[in-house]
Amino acid sequence: MSPIKLLRVPLLLAAGPLLVSCGPVGPKTGSMQSAHNYDETSAGIPDNDPRGLNATLKLLAPGGERPLTIRGLTVETSIVHARKSDLDLTLIHPDGTQVILHRFDPANPTDPASTYPADRQPNGLLSVLNGKPTNGLWRLVIRDHRAGVTGHLERWALDLDYNR
Ligand SMILES: [Ca+2]
């Protein structure tokens, strides 16, 4: 009897720290914003050029033991352009997944919204990004499809709700 009892005590003590590390270590959800501001010369949108402007944002949010994953996101843009209906906007996740925010329609050119999805639902589905990691190099590609009028990107921002 007594050798078994002696054995049980150290086993329970050893299990203690393991159970603690499996419990919640902080909030399970959160939000953050990352923004990039440009000056006029560094973020010109090339006129009628399919290569477009590639604007980047590098997210390096500390995730602790596990990487943060996306619950939802909002994309804000501030574009100075005398004919915004020339433009289309595509958001690209670090893994290459693309979401068309605003599609250029030559038959019916319309201005992009400044905030998706708060001002308007994007043409693509932002929800395809849910569950993907927040961190990495995000891109916003802005293409101008009609010659003659030009503009530039002033600022863009990602508002991310995440799970940890
Ligand atoms: Ca143009």
CATH classification at residue 139: 2.60.120.260
Residue 66: its pLDDT value, please? 78
Element (H, E) at 121: none
Other Cβ atoms within 10 Å of 161 Cβ, number = 16
Cα 126 to ligand 1 centroid, rounded to whole Å: 27
- Residue 26 — pLDDT band, cuts 50, 70, 90? low
Cα 72 to ligand 1 centroid, rounded to whole Å: 32
The label of the residue with tokens 């390096």 reads: 60
The answer to whether the beta carbons of residues 34 and 59 sit under 8 Å apart is yes
In this predicted structure, the answer to whether residue 113 has a pLDDT above a threshold of 80 is yes
Assigned domain for 6 exists: no
In this predicted structure, the answer to whether residue 156 has a pLDDT above a threshold of 70 is yes
Sign of CA dihedral 106, 110, 114, 118: negative
* Overall number of domains in the chain: 1
Assigned domain for 7 exists: no
Assigned domain for 4 exists: no
Q: Which residues surround ligand 1, an ion (CB under 5 A)?
A: 47, 86, 144, 146, 149
The arithmetic mean of pLDDT across residues 19-36, rounded, is 69
Half-sphere exposure of 105 (CA within 13 A, CB side): 10
Is the overall model pTM greater than 0.85, yes or no? no
Assigned domain for 44 exists: yes
SS3 state of residue 132: coil
Q: What totals of helices (H) and strands (E) does the chain contain, helices first? A: 1, 9
What CA–CA distance (Å, rounded) separates 73 from 70?
A: 7
The answer to whether the beta carbons of residues 47 and 148 sit under 8 Å apart is yes
The answer to whether the beta carbons of residues 45 and 151 sit under 8 Å apart is yes
Cα 82 to ligand 1 centroid, rounded to whole Å: 9
Domain range enclosing 34: 26-163
Assigned domain for 55 exists: yes
Assigned domain for 120 exists: yes
In this predicted structure, the answer to whether residue 68 has a pLDDT above a threshold of 70 is yes
